[in-house]
Structure formats: C-alpha cells, structure tokens
Amino acid sequence: MTGKNINSFADNMNEVITGVNDSLNILNSFAESLSSNDDSVNVNLYNDTSFIIPSYGSVINRLKTIENTVEKFTAGNGTVKLLDGTHRSIKVSNIPITRFLLLRQNMYICSSVFS
C-alpha cells in the first residue's frame, strides 16, 4: 500500500500533543490575565484561532469605577468619569412616585402620580 495510513498512531499522537499544547496555552493565558496590568490578554491556539480575555485587574478597576459612580449618584454630588475620558456632573432632582394597577391581562398601567 502506498497511501497514508488513516488513524495511525503518529497522527493520533500529534492530535493529542496539539490538544495538550492548546490546553497549556489557555492555562498560561489565564494565569497571565490574573497578574497582568493590561486591559486584556490574547489567547492564541495552534490552529490559528485566537481570542481575547479581560485581565483580572481590568475587571476590578471597572467594578471600582462602577461602585464610585453609583455612590456619587446616590449622594447626588460630584462628577462621573465616563469610559471615553469625559466627565459629567450629577444633579439631584425629585422623581414623582407612580402607582400601578394590575389589569386582568397582567399588564401594568399608570393610575396616578404623587409628588
């Protein structure tokens, strides 16, 4: 026989090695994402597939920004820095309380407005 042997041991071992290398690459990228100061980490696989995962520091920084923004909103003072780098000031105003009635069709409608 002159053709290539399908399902040969060598071919199967090459696939196993590629899979193990991909797994190790993914684990290394996850470890890098935990210690990186960058916003994201690239994960490159051996079949020319790649994807981007956020770094832990980036996620924590975004959560802190959200927490600070919510605190400023609830306090009603200060400015908020947006993702594009611009700042917006916060103004407090009273919002009327609305009462809703449940209809037979399970739809809510506004029945009255209180100040």
pLDDT tens readout for residues 56-76:
999 998 899 888 878 877 777
| In the chain, where the domains are located | 9-58, 59-114
How do residues 20-43 score in pLDDT, each as one tens digit?
Answer: 999 999 999 999 999 988 889 999
Would you call 81 helix, strand, or coil by DSSP?
strand
- CA atoms of 115 and 107, how far apart (whole Å): 24
Determine the average pLDDT of the residues in 100-107.
Answer: 48
pTM beyond 0.75: the answer is: no
